[in-house]
Amino acid sequence: MKTTITHNAKEYEIDLSKPLDISISITNKDNNVNAWYVDAPTIEPHREANFTGSIVAGSSTNFYDISFNPHSHGTHTECVGHISAEHQSVNQNLQQFFFLAEVITVHPSEENGDLVITKKQLKNALGNHTPTALVIRTLPNTVSKRNRQYSHTNPPYILEDAMVFIRELGVEHLLIDLPSVDKEKDDGKLLAHKAFWDFNGEVRLEATITEFIFVPDKIVDGPYFLNLQVAPFENDASPSRPVLYKVE
The CATH number of the domain holding residue 120 is: 3.50.30.50
Is residue 41 in some structural domain? no
Is residue 50 in some structural domain? no
Is residue 65 in some structural domain? no
Reduced to 3 DSSP states, what percent helix, strand and coil does the chain have, rounded to the nearest 5? Answer: 15, 35, 50
Is residue 34 in some structural domain? no
Q: What angle do CA 101, 192, 220 make, to 5 degrees?
A: 30
Is residue 211 in some structural domain? yes
Integer angstrom CA distances of residue 237 from 72, 82, 187: 11, 7, 21
Domain count, the chain: 1
Give the per-residue pLDDT at 6. Answer: 84
Is residue 130 in some structural domain? yes
Residue 120: which domain range?
2-27+71-246
**pLDDT tens digits, the chain, 248 residues: what are they?**
888 888 888 888 999 999 999 999 999 999 999 999 999 999 999 999 999 999 999 999 999 999 999 999 999 999 999 999 999 999 999 999 999 999 999 999 999 999 999 999 999 999 999 999 999 999 999 999 999 999 999 999 999 999 999 999 999 999 999 999 999 999 999 999 999 999 999 999 999 999 999 999 999 999 999 999 999 999 999 999 999 999 98
Is residue 84 in some structural domain? yes
Give the per-residue pLDDT at 9. Answer: 84
Give the per-residue pLDDT at 248. Answer: 85
Backbone phi and psi for residue 143, each to the nearest 5 degrees, phi listed first: -65, -10
Greatest extent of the chain over all pairs of C-alpha atoms, in Å: 64
Residue 25 CA to residue 242 CA, distance in Å, equals 11
Give the per-residue pLDDT at 72. Answer: 98
How many residues are present in the chain? 248
Is residue 59 in some structural domain? no
